[in-house]
Amino acid sequence: MASENTFLPADLVETDPLLGVLRLAALSAGSDGPPDDATLDLMFERMPAGRIDDELSAAAWRELARGLMGQRPSNMLVALSGCGALGRVLPEVAALFGVPQIADDPPQVDIGQHLLRVLDEAARCNAPLPVRFAALVMHVGKSDSPPEHLPVHYRHVERGRPRIDALCQRFGVPEACRELALLALSECERVHRVTEVRAGPIAAMLERVGAFDRPDRFGQLLMLCACDYRAYRGHAAGEYPKAALLRTALSACAGVEQTHGSPGAEELQEARAAAIARVFRSERWSSPGT
């Protein structure tokens, strides 16, 4: 984005320069590309000290949502980082850059750089806002994992949950975005690990993620997991096999309630596990964790 074609919105510069910087960063997520060095310098000069004020949080969310829904959401974060604003607007996300996470090839990736690729993949898939927001924040519990455990992140879910809640409260994030972000925090890595040889845990997962009573949100979770998968090197053009596996399992469960009348919760899950096992020719139950 050439500096002569961009500007800091005059109305926001006068009332809140940091919000003006956020607007320009959000606009950079469009088709024109990221700001050049001159524009970043201007953004840096206009940026005051401190974080977004509480009374401006709703306006800040509108700008964040604008950038997330752009054609290249990563440009917004790159612009905010380049002018020093990312740590003031989204310190939870800024802390992820430079933190390693286990991968296949190469064996480690930078979480911050990875989430940039996930966001752009979500845009390529025309994902809705909840998917893009979840991609932005679902790793925030990994920023301060004990160094001796890296690149593995033990108990990041417990650390991430209050951070996502606090971030959502700070910006007034819509409930649908918050719900999917928290679901992705706890379930995305489990979805990546799911296997057809363990029918019982598959049935439990489908129940846990709301596949039976919240199909739209379940679809968004699978879309997010697929974007996360394709953001890893070597997977960009591939189909996400776990999505097909879980959709096949969900289809296998169709009609279970009608066949078994009105079973209790435990009996219903047993029946669903049996139906999934028949489709995959696998064991009904193995170890309960997935």
Domain boundaries defined on the chain: 3-89, 100-280
Residue 15: predicted pLDDT: 60
What DSSP state is assigned to residue 102? E
Ramachandran sector of residue 276 (left: φ over 0; alpha: ψ -120 to 50; beta: rest): alpha
Helical segments of the chain, H only: 10-15, 17-27, 37-46, 57-68, 73-82, 86-89, 91-94, 111-124, 129-137, 156-171, 175-193, 199-208, 215-230, 241-252, 256-259, 265-280
Model pTM score: 0.88
Residue 41 is predicted with a pLDDT of 75
pLDDT value for 165: 97
What pLDDT shows up at residue 183?
98
CA distances from 3 to 27, 35, 74, 85 (A): 13, 7, 19, 18
pLDDT along the chain (290 residues), means of 10: 47 65 87 71 66 66 95 93 88 94 83 96 97 97 87 88 96 97 96 92 95 96 96 84 96 78 78 93 61
pLDDT of residue 259: 61
Q: Quick one: pLDDT at residue 51?
A: 55
pLDDT of residue 4: 40
Q: How far, in Å, CA of 224 to CA of 77, rounded?
A: 19
